[in-house]
A and B are shown apart, each in its own frame.
Chain A
């Protein structure tokens, strides 16, 4: 399988997004309130499209966000729906981990709401 690269460094208003090939881990962390969500997340959707084309092994998608705005909330839903589609088409071994801080009830609730909506193995993990 060709190595797909995804490596976006975080800033004060955009998240850090990385795909670790060795661990087969996709990790998004930090804050997401970009000026233009569509253009910011475009590389992620391109990367996901490439995933769909190739043969996919096991991948864990880790969400470890401190904050996201409403536009990012819609984008995260789109990412999760894309994963749902990849799983149903390729029978891939994809798992989502939603990490939230112990003190952050809103982030926990956000994870629960996504979990209810999406047909993807989804684990909520407190840190």
Chain B
């Protein structure tokens, strides 16, 4: 449906959201699914804005793919991370994926109370919010690029109906 690769900034986030909303409306996707899409798009794309690493090679710059696969809308994002952050990201997502709806609600509540807005403007609540909004598990993979850098791929699935 939509593919983008390159530098991510707030203008790109706004454009992607506007294009996706129009496309989903034209395709008669249910309003609840469109809302979930909006939520997950903002969180995942702003994550990239805040954490992207740009190396020289364009093929290693961040990307985003939005598509429909059967009953699911998929938002796939990929960006380079320092390899040292891999374990931390994995732990965060695994703990979110292990929780049910009620546990996620409680976890979000506690995490928000304890959160401090970081230097890049994040609250550290993105993964929890994605899991709460989609009701699905976050799928992820890591692909080592060099010893220092790893590609982090995240797939959020949203029930289209």
Contact = CB atoms under 8 A, between A and B. Distances in A.
Q: How many interface residues does chain B have, given as a range?
A: 20 to 34
A105 to B, nearest CB: 8
B68 interface: no
Contacts of A74: 112, 115, 117, 123, 125
Contacts of A113: 105, 109
A113 B112 CA distance: 11
Interface in B10-65: 10, 13-14, 18, 31, 35, 38-39, 42-43, 46, 49
B43 A38 contact: no
A36 B121 contact: yes
Contacts of A69: 42-43, 46
A1 interface: no
Given A70-B123, A70-B126, A71-B123, A103 B109 contact: no
B121 A73 contact: no
Given A67-B38, A70-B129, A117-B113, A37 B46 contact: no
A35 interface: yes
Interface in A67-107: 67, 69-71, 73-75, 77, 103-104, 106
A35 B123 CA distance: 13
- Prevailing SS type, chain B contact patch: helix
The 4 residue pairs across chains A and B that have the minimum distance between CB atoms: A70-B125, A35-B10, A74-B123, A71-B123
A33 interface: yes
A22 interface: no
Interface in B107-156: 109, 112-113, 115, 117, 121-123, 125-126, 128-129, 133
A53 interface: no
B139 to A, nearest CB: 20
B49 A35 contact: yes
Given A33-B42, A106-B133, A73 B123 contact: yes
Contacts of A67: 38-39, 42
20 contacts: A33-B13, A33-B42, A33-B46, A35-B10, A36-B121, A38-B117, A38-B121, A69-B42, A69-B43, A69-B46, A70-B43, A70-B122, A70-B123, A70-B128, A71-B121, A71-B122, A74-B115, A74-B123, A106-B133, A117-B113
